[in-house]
Amino acid sequence: MLAGKKVILGVSGSIAAYKSALIVRGLIRAGAQVRVLMTPAATEFISPLTLATLSKHEVITSVHSEAGWNNHVELGLWADVYLIAPTTATTLAKLAHGICDSALVAVYLSARCPVFFAPAMDVDMWLHPATRANVATLQSYGNYLIDVDSGELASGLNGQGRLAEPERILQTLTDHFSPGDLTGSRILITAGPTHEDLDPVRYLGNRSTGKMGIALAEAAAARGAEVELILGPTELSTSVPGVTTTNVRSALEMHAAAMARWSDCTAGILSAAVADYRPAEVAKEKIKKSDGALQLRLVRNPDIAAELGASKRPDQLLVGFALETENGVENARGKLERKQLDFIVLNSPRTPGAGFGHDTNQIQLVDRNMVTDFELKSKRAVAEDILDRLVAVKQTR
């Protein structure tokens, strides 16, 4: 989404300015063109030479320099987006009130593109009424806040005020340029594991974290979809607009939630690692250890993909996932036919960096006619590949 985009990065004088190097690197890797502006205070924390080397362009540090004087209006017209990160309390105030004493503010006042600002400061400064008012003022002008993170601050305190991590900043810009090609769609996504209780203490489960499903939900919402996310037990969550989360624990609960929502959806992506079996009986008390072997009788759980596929209307699309350790494509195609899926996302836990728990994945997209291989990518990038295929299939209907 950022390939070919023209991005201005404004850096103000925070200790978090060192993260601007990571932001520039990420933008360049994504294929963006980058120009960097720095306040004089920012140059005390990171060298302009560093950012010039990474961006491959001269860094402007003063509106009174030849480059700054000649380019501050031109840059405001050139850019597709202006990102100010980190934005200190001082710079927030100057932006909010138009105090034009730096190239950073001069270009902001000339910019006709969307402006994103990512604050960074100590917790008490962030919570001060003056800062809150300045943030509200900037937002009232149509600028976009990339909210602060919480955690350990440079002062040694813990609380709100940390600059958002570069990955989140870059993802925010990526989402801004998403094509909107799922606008009007309502997508059901299942994610995470299920836990099948043995007794009040123990359960049968798997290693799924829900990362892939959450990435799909956030990517689909960024492209305009309304998302019904049915999320199994996991520490992860999402709060992005457009995603409604239903938390479940067992396969039976996930089945009930999926069946209840399916008729209102235009597509389903079943990324959850649903347990195939559950204990026939759940002990009311903790099962005590004994000298002999423990035997458990298991019964089949409902097949969510098969039931959704059987009830699928001509206007609905259904995507399954297959985690296979052998005969992957053959097994995936068998599943595709049995469950009336439109295509399957196939991966293997034996691929380094793929499968449960990783931030990356490597997939194959399998349909009735072809297999498409992809390289190892972040799970968000994998989600975009899956949604690209979903849109392509939708357009052929």
pLDDT per position as a tens digit, 284-317: 999 998 888 989 999 999 999 999 999 999 999 9
- Strands (E) in 30-139, as ranges, are 33-38, 81-87, 115-119
**CA atoms of 26 and 351, how far apart (whole Å):** 25
- Asked whether residue 335 is marked as a ligand-binding residue, the answer is yes
- Residues sharing a CB contact under 8 Å with residue 332, sequence separation 6 or more, in sequence order: 322, 324, 344, 346, 364, 366
**Average pLDDT rounded to a whole number, residues 98-116:** 94
Distance (Å) of CA 251 to CA 210, 212, 254, 281, 306: 14, 18, 5, 15, 14
Tokens of 160: 């709100």
Structure tokens at 222: 């960024």
Confirm whether residue 45 is marked as ligand binding. Answer: no
**Two structure tokens written together for 220:** 């689909």
| 343 labelled binding-site residue | no
Query: According to the annotation, is 276 in a ligand binding site?
Result: yes
How far apart CA 67 and CA 107 sit, in angstroms, is: 12
Residue showing tokens 């950022």? 2
**Global pTM value:** 0.75
Active site residue 206: yes
pLDDT above 80: residue 1: no
Q: 71, 134, 206, 247: which is the annotated catalytic residue?
A: 206
Q: Give pLDDT, residue 291.
A: 82
CA atoms of 76 and 80, how far apart (whole Å): 9
Is 312 annotated among the ligand-binding residues?
no
User: In the structure encoding, which two tokens stand for residue 341, read together?
Assistant: 């899926």
DSSP label of 289: P
Q: Which helix (H) or strand (E) holds 388?
A: helix 379-396
User: Could you read off the pLDDT of 215-234 as tens digits, one per residue?
Assistant: 999 999 999 999 999 999 99
Q: What is the DSSP letter of 254?
A: H
* Residue 68: per-residue pLDDT: 56
Whole-number Cα distances in Å, 216 to 152, 209, 324: 30, 13, 20
- Token representation of residue 348: 């293997």
Q: Which residues pair with 162 in a beta bridge?
A: 149
CB 50 within 8 A of CB 21: yes
Per residue in 132-188, pLDDT (tens digit) is 999 999 999 999 999 999 999 988 999 999 999 999 999 899 989 888 999 999 999
Query: Amino acid identity, residue 167?
Result: E
| Six token digits for residue 15 | 């200790």
| Confidence label for 67 from pLDDT (cuts 50, 70 and 90) | low
Q: Which domains does the chain have, with CATH numbers?
A: 6-176 (3.40.50.1950), 186-396 (3.40.50.10300)
Q: Give pLDDT, residue 357.
A: 85
Eight-state DSSP code of residue 94: H
Coil, strand, or helix at residue 40?
Answer: helix
Q: Virtual CA dihedral for 336, 338, 341, 345, nearest 10 degrees?
A: -30
pLDDT tops 90 at residue 361: yes
Closest Cα partner for 37 from 106, 137, 134, 122? 106
* Longest alpha-carbon distance in the chain: 85
pLDDT at 70: 62
* Token pair recorded at residue 240: 């992005």
Identify the bridge partners of residue 246 per DSSP, sorted by sequence position. Answer: 230
Q: What is the pLDDT of residue 15?
A: 96
pLDDT at site 292: 86
d(CA 159, CA 149): 8
